[in-house]
């Protein structure tokens, strides 16, 4: 199911829950990167530890994203018309 065609107000499906997981993890990664930059600028060793944590969260996001696209079959590049077809 395409993101644009998703109906709102329905029951929570596995696809919706997976999408929420990805969004929450993305938000955590951004917060971790910003806080690590703050602590690194303050010359605190905690900044590098948070930076490594943000990297680990990013790896989890990539793995979950691959699982999400593989499981639900969403391929944004398949349905787009090619420019060469019109020529």
Domain residue extents for the chain:
16-72
pLDDT tens profile 55-64: 888 888 877 7
Query: Which residue bears the tokens 């060793």?
Result: 45
Q: In degrees, to the nearest 5, what angle opens at C-alpha 41 toward C-alphas 36 and 42?
A: 100
Q: Binning pLDDT at 50, 70 and 90, where does residue 75 land? A: low
Instruction: Evaluate if pTM is beyond 0.95.
Output: no
Neighbouring C-beta atoms of residue 43, cutoff 10 Å: 7
């Amino acid at each position: 199911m395409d993101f644009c065609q998703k109906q709102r107000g329905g029951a929570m499906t596995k696809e919706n829950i997976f999408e929420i997981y990805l969004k929450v993890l993305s938000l955590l990664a951004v917060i971790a990167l910003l806080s690590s930059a703050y602590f690194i600028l303050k010359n605190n060793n905690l900044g590098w530890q948070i930076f490594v944590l943000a990297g680990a969260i990013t790896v989890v996001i990539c793995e979950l994203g691959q699982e999400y696209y593989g499981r639900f079959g969403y391929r944004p590049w398949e349905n787009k018309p090619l420019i060469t077809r019109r020529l």
